[in-house]
Amino acid sequence: MMENNTIAAFHISSNKDGIIKLNTQKMYHWHIPKPLRNKPIQKGDIVLVRTVGGLARVLVMQVFREELEETQKRYKRVVKVIERAPKKEPVS
């Protein structure tokens, strides 16, 4: 099975009292390095990424596989997972 290697995410502009405010003007993409793929990043996770202005926190909206050789795109990298999305409990 091929691992997901790219995320699409929105920048987090603020996070006060557990309320996250997003900058939704544009969705950006980042590459997931191989060491971070052993515990897969999921939709809803908050991750630390490299940007032009340094490091930033983003909220993951999509995780997918992209053949970088075919698309000829180069993305900056995910540095680490800050917070995992809460697991959904089955309703009984």
Q: Is the pLDDT of residue 42 over 90?
A: yes
- CA 15 → CA 1, 2, 23, 54, 72, distances in Å? 36, 34, 12, 19, 35
pLDDT band at 69 (very low <50, low <70, confident <90, very high): confident
Cα gap 45→32, rounded to integer Å: 13
Averaged confidence pLDDT in the chain:
90
What confidence score (pLDDT) does residue 14 get? 87
Could you tell me the residue ranges of all domains in the chain? 6-83
Region 67-79 average pLDDT: 89
Cα gap 70→53, rounded to integer Å: 28
Residues ≥6 apart with Cβ < 8 Å to 86: 44
